[in-house]
């Protein structure tokens, strides 16, 4: 029988009437992502997406790994199908899992029946298949409490499926199912994690990065592009908009009080990001802000920054501990790139004593000395990809 990749839909199954939309979005994303691995058939039934290779040329291992990085998949397993009678299931496990059963010291069988008319209980089926496996592989012990290997048997509508792969998957909602957002991507630790978190809630992300040549280098820009490349498998598509920020920062430095530099820069970034969002039909902005981390991330600074746009600003890291953010960044593989020591435009123009409680009136008075609209317009006009 055939080998499949089984995708468990998880959270999608809680959706009501619009569940089909989520499922279609997941399948669309999987189809596009798995294309380089060969031709596959996709079919959804009973909260599972079945992905079946159409030829020997398909790279199932690579496809499985890509599927594990697809949001909307709560579990991903590589499995073989077989007829549903107990004998066929035991034979399938003995043959298909030869390498795993030969390598492990102990195992157990775990059965699930989504076909409730099935004549054997899950426990009886597990006992039978376990007994047959133990006879075929005398060197491996049965251990139902702490096995090295778990052999999974799933009785579904059409066939039984056998697998021993871990079920790891990205969870969340399919990218695109929640719409899209513009994310402010710096070269730091936080914003890549924020992007990952909001993509996991189904947002398609357009990242924008502000750079200030010659104060910031090519290497600093490349670092941000590298971060986007690391996030790409989860985000489906990720094209960084590079916005020149030198003029704006020089104008701020010349005309505004130094303690307000950062909050005023942040307001410019926010306005520019919001305009790009509206042009691209995005419903929100995403930042890596984290309450109290630095002067520009106090409640007062956040309020003053938010004031210049109508779009909601999503801040998924707002209540996280730095250690939790770092742990996530390590897990995603962004950490080592994020800590490379290249300057960010914010670090180049950091005030010595930034205001932690900026007053909106002071900020508005300072900004009145700048031609905000034309600075914003020209930054967007000169953005590149
Ligand atoms: P990060 O690790 O994300 O850089 P940070 O602690 O350094 O976070 P700040 O520099 O205060 O925080 O930036 C707060 C948020 O503002 C960032 O998470 C990011 O969303 C946005 N941001 C800052 N600098 C830039 C930039 N050069 N380009 C785009 N967005 C930026
Ligand atoms: Mg930063």
Ligand 1 atom 20, closest CA: 287
What SS3 state is found at 383?
coil
Lowest mean pLDDT among 120-124, 265-269, 326-330, 345-349: 345-349
State whether the beta carbon of 185 lies less than 6 angstroms from ligand 1: yes
Nearest atom in ligand 1 to 286's CA? 20
C-alpha radius of gyration, the chain, whole number: 26
The pTM for the full model equals 0.91
Closest CA to 212 of 255, 268, 170: 268
What is the pLDDT averaged over residues 208-226? 92
What SS3 state is found at 143?
coil
Dihedral sign for Cα atoms in the order 14, 11, 32, 153: negative
Residues within 5 Å of ion ligand 2 by Cβ? 186, 188
Residue 84's pLDDT is 94
Residue 344's pLDDT is 74
Dihedral sign for Cα atoms in the order 321, 327, 333, 339: positive
Answer yes or no: same fold for 3-168 and 180-381.
no
State whether the beta carbon of 191 lies less than 6 angstroms from ligand 1: yes
Q: How far apart are CA 44 and CA 49, in angstroms?
A: 4
In the chain, domain spans = 3-168, 180-381
Nearest atom in ligand 1 to 189's CA? 2
Burial class (CB in 10 A: 0-12, 13-18, 19+), 372: middle
State whether the beta carbon of 207 lies less than 6 angstroms from ligand 1: no
- The region that residue 284 occupies, defined by phi over 0 for left and psi between -120 and 50 for alpha, beta otherwise, is beta
* Mutate-to-test residue for ligand 1 from 185, 188, 223, highest number of ligand atoms within 8 A of CB: 188
Residue 296's pLDDT is 77
Tens digits of per-residue pLDDT, 308-354? 999 999 999 999 999 999 999 999 999 999 998 877 766 667 777 87
Q: How far apart are CA 331 and CA 173, in angstroms?
A: 19
| Confidence bin at 173 (pLDDT 50/70/90) | very high
DSSP 199-264: HHBT-EEEEEEEE-TTTS-HHHHHHHHHHHHHHHHHHS---PEEEE-HHHHHHHHHHS-GGGHHHH
Q: How far apart are CA 94 and CA 98, in angstroms?
A: 6
Closest CA to 159 of 43, 250, 238, 65: 43
What is the pLDDT averaged over residues 56-85? 94
What is the pLDDT averaged over residues 175-197? 96
| Confidence bin at 306 (pLDDT 50/70/90) | very high
State whether the beta carbon of 260 lies less than 6 angstroms from ligand 1: no
State whether the beta carbon of 293 lies less than 6 angstroms from ligand 1: yes
Residue 47's pLDDT is 86
3-state secondary structure the chain: CCEEEEEECHHHHHCCCCHHHHHHHHHHHHHHHHHHHCCEEEEEECCEEEEEECCCCCCHHHHHHHHHCCCCCCEEEEEEEECCCHHHHHHHHHHHCHHHHHHCCEEEEEEEECCCCCCCCHHHHHHHHHHHHHHHCCCCEECCCCCCEEEEEEECCCCEEEECCCCCCCCCECCCCCCEEEEECCCCCHHHHHHHHHHHECCEEEEEEEECCCCCCHHHHHHHHHHHHHHHHHHCCCCCEEEECHHHHHHHHHHCCHHHHHHHHHHHHHHHHHHHHHHCCCCEEECCCCCCCCHHHCHHHHHHHHCCCCCCEECCCCCCCHHHHHHHHHHHCCHHHHCCCCCCHHHHCCCCCCCCCCCHHHHHHHHCCCCHHHHHHHHHHCCEC
> Cis (ω within 30 of 0) for the bond into 214?
yes
3-168 has which CATH code?
Answer: 3.30.2130.30
Residues in a beta bridge with 113: 155
The CATH architecture to which 180-381 belongs is 3-Layer(aba) Sandwich (3.40)
374 CA → ligand 2 middle, Å: 25
Q: How far apart are CA 11 and CA 5, in angstroms?
A: 19
Tokens of 54: 């159409």
Ligand 1 atom 23, closest CA: 186
Residue 188's pLDDT is 93
Asked whether the beta carbons of 228 and 238 are under 8 A apart, the reply is yes
């Amino acid at each position: 029988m055939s080998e499949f990749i089984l995708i468990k839909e998880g959270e999608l199954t809680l959706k009501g009437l619009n569940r089909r939309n989520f499922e279609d979005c997941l399948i669309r994303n999987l189809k596009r992502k798995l294309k380089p691995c060969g031709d596959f058939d996709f079919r959804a039934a009973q909260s599972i997406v079945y992905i079946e290779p159409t030829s020997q040329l398909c790279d199932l291992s690579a496809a499985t790994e890509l599927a594990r990085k697809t949001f909307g998949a709560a579990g991903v397993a590589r499995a073989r199908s077989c007829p549903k009678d107990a004998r066929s299931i035991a034979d399938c496990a003995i043959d298909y899992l030869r390498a795993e059963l030969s390598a492990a010291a102990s195992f157990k069988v775990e059965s699930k029946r989504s076909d409730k008319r099935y004549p054997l209980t899950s426990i009886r089926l597990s006992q039978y298949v376990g007994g047959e496996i133990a006879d075929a592989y005398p060197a491996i012990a049965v251990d139902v409490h702490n096995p090295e290997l778990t052999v999974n048997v799933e009785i579904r509508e059409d066939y039984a499926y056998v697998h021993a792969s871990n079920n790891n998957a990205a969870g969340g909602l399919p990218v695109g199912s929640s719409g899209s957002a513009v994310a402010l991507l710096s070269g730091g630790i936080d914003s890549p994690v924020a992007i990952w978190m909001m993509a996991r809630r189904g947002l398609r992300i357009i990242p924008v990065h502000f750079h200030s040549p010659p104060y910031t280098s090519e290497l600093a820009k490349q670092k941000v592009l590298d971060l986007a490349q690391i996030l790409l498998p989860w985000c489906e598509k990720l094209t960084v908009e590079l916005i020149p920020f030198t003029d704006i920062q020089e104008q701020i430095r010349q005309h505004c009080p130094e303690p307000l530099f950062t909050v005023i820069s942040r307001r410019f970034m926010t306005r520019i990001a919001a305009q790009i969002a509206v042009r691209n039909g995005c419903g929100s902005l995403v930042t890596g802000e984290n309450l109290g981390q630095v002067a520009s991330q106090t409640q007062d600074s956040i309020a003053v920054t938010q004031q210049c746009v109508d779009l909601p600003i999503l801040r998924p890291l707002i209540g996280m501990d730095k250690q939790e953010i770092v742990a996530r960044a390590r897990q995603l593989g962004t950490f080592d790139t994020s800590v490379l020591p290249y300057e960010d435009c914010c670090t180049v123009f950091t005030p010595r004593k930034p205001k932690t409680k900026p007053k909106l009136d002071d900020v508005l008075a300072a900004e009145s000395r700048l031609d905000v609209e034309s600075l914003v317009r020209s930054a967007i006009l000169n953005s590149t990809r």
